[in-house]
Amino acid sequence: MKKTIVTVTGIRPDFIRMSEIFKCLDDEESFEHILVHTGQHYDNLLSDVFFEDLQIRKPDYNLSIGGSGKKHYHQQADLSIKVLKLFEDENIKPDIVLFLGDSNSVLASVPIKKEGYKVGHIEAGMRSYDERMLEEINRKVCDHVSNYLFVYHDNYKNKAVKEGIAEDKIFVVGNTIVEPLRKIAYLSYNGLKSHILLDIHRPENFLYEDRLRQIVDFAKQYSKDFDSPVKMLNFKRTLSAINQWNIDLGDIEVIDLMGYKNFVKMQQDSLFIISDSGTAQEEPALLNVPVIVPRDFTERPESIQGNCSFMLKMSTDSYESSKVWLRDKPVSETEWLGDGKASEMIVSILKKVL
């Protein structure tokens, strides 16, 4: 008898990271895979285009929890009700419900676990130890209600074990970003290094005027020091804050968000990237593109230790150190990202434990 596996996914980076897992689950004869899109990201440039670029099949259900101005707790409450109602209305009896990452969507794991279903968490064990980040709270909660945790490497496993999570629940599988990136990247690169890419969208940066102003000033200075134009991704909340505080962008060009294929090429064509994104500490490492990370803490310290990224503090000294690091042309160590077989390994483990 087939085992029913439900995947619950809702935001751009998670579609990318889950894309090969979706396909492996669909191809596994012993599983019935039900793909649920939470609708947390509902804009075409943050959702539909990634299904096209990564050749992901249409979701079985879309719960439409996103919406302009909707608070995180509204999304969580809406999803908790809708996902369990979906199970009831459609007579879905999951053998396991899989989540990935640390978005608001993973908090649906709590009511699902309370209703007696098994939970699996992919990208488990990450910790920044900075609870100003909503993601830090989300990932901790999901880890502690999960029956099975799929972690990217041993460091994450050790962090989970230190929090009292049983070691036999935890499986080291590698990073799921490797597979989709390799499929896209090697087809698109044309060798240009035409710009510096600026990607700022975390609340820890755009909610604070002094901090956001400093990041923009640093970006303008990088442009002068490296004689390269800066292109800034148009994240609405970041641009709204910039406009509200009359922060001068100077010659920084604001560009629209784009699909995955185009974004990978945009990264490859970058001299370097300035980004507060978690994924930006992984993808560019595989593309050998340096990343400046304007954050106080990171849940991916391996990217710093592997010389893939540089943590930029809000000080002139840190800025000057970052220039030295960039000009030394650091060589990235990427072993911490795994061997590119994470999806197959996850499905193989699920076959055994279920």
Residue 290, number of CB atoms within 10 A of its CB: 22
Amino acid at 276: D
Both tokens of residue 86? 């979906």
CA gyration radius, the chain: 20
The question of whether 201 is a catalytic residue gets the answer yes
List, edge to edge, every strand of the sheet that includes 31-37.
61-62, 31-37, 3-9, 96-100, 119-124, 148-151, 170-172
253 close to 232: Cβ distance less than 8 angstroms: yes
- Bridge partners (DSSP) of residue 248 are none
- Bridge partners (DSSP) of residue 82 are none
- Catalytic choice (72, 144, 153, 201): 201
CA gap 160, 337 in Å, rounded? 18
CA gap 180, 178 in Å, rounded? 6
Q: What 3-state DSSP class applies to 139?
A: helix
Residue 239 sits at the vertex; the CA angle it makes with 235 and 242, to the nearest 5 degrees, is: 150
Residue with tokens 């109602």: 85
257 close to 275: Cβ distance less than 8 angstroms: no
List the catalytic residues: 201
